[in-house]
Amino acid sequence: MKCLLLVLFAFIPLQAFCGEVEPPKPFKAWYLSFFAPDYMDVWLETVDVTDIQGNTVITAMKGTVSIHQPEDGSGEPAGWPDYVGAGAGVHLNRLDLPERIYVRWQSLAEPQTYRAELDFARPARDLMRKAEKVKCPITGWATDYRNAVTIGLAPGGIAKVWISGPCFKGTEVLRVQAEIEPKGPYQGLSEGRHRPLEPAAKAYIDKHGIPYDSW
């Protein structure tokens, strides 16, 4: 009887124990980018990306993000834009599609330092794998993929994720409330000092404050 049971178990598919294996990405690279609402400036301390194969790139990004800070105070930081495209970012060709993205950043408008783990569900990756027809303003109709992950970072520790691609409107897939980094900025190496705000951002915030509830 023991021998029979061993033979039966030998034919159970490996997926029964390990879960369904996902197909690889259908494009050479995907694009990761970040932006912040007008005047709500951000400094990325680190962005660590882990793909579905378990590969990790430490500090895939750091530094500035895309942001609009007009000096005449005409920016509108409240809420997220209706159309989300790609921000300042990097092409990741050594990684498969994302499973997790760890972000630690300074929210310079407050100032405060946050950290968050953004866990991507299978449906978000399936959306990236799906080829669809899309109409581009200049070239017209084409079949393409959503090969871009765009992340918005807002005061209060809000991180929001969209999947997009050439000519595609961004599709929101995740919103996370980050936690405060207990070590402070630069992992405690700057004696609590954050990077300074741009003059235009400081002038706007001093006059109008921060619209925390809008994100």
Rounded Cα distance, 212 and 210, in Å = 6
Q: Is the pLDDT of residue 2 over 70?
A: no
Q: Is the pLDDT of residue 80 over 70?
A: yes
Task: Write down the pLDDT at residue 19.
Answer: 56
Asked if 125 contacts 52 with a C-beta cutoff of 8 angstroms, the reply is: yes
pTM of the complete model = 0.89
Max Cα–Cα distance, the chain, nearest Å: 83
Residue 34's identity, in one-letter code, is: F
More confident call, 139 vs 38: 38
Q: For residue 88, what are the β-bridge partners?
A: 34
Non-local (6+) Cβ contacts of 169 within 8 A are 83, 84
Look up residue 9 and give its two tokens: 């178990």
Q: Mean pLDDT throughout 109-133?
A: 97
Q: For residue 164, what are the β-bridge partners?
A: 148
Q: For residue 132, what are the β-bridge partners?
A: 144
**In this predicted model, what pLDDT tens digit does every residue of 180-195 receive, in sequence order?**
999 999 999 999 999 9
Q: Mean pLDDT throughout 207-213?
A: 97
- Measured over the CA atoms of residue 179, residue 180, residue 183 and residue 184, the dihedral's sign is positive
**Domain assignments of the chain as residue spans, ordered by start:** 25-184+198-206
- In the predicted model, what is the mean pLDDT of the chain? 91
Rounded Cα distance, 174 and 145, in Å = 19
Q: Is the pLDDT of residue 4 over 70?
A: no
Question: Which parts of the chain fold into alpha helices (H)?
Answer: 2-10, 15-18, 122-129, 199-208
Q: Is the pLDDT of residue 14 over 80?
A: no
Q: How many helices (H) and strands (E) does the chain have?
A: 4, 12
Question: CA 12: distance to chain centroid?
Answer: 38
Backbone φ and ψ for 70, nearest 5 degrees, come out as -65, 140
Q: For residue 117, what are the β-bridge partners?
A: 102
Q: Mean pLDDT throughout 106-119?
A: 98
Residue 114's identity, in one-letter code, is: Y
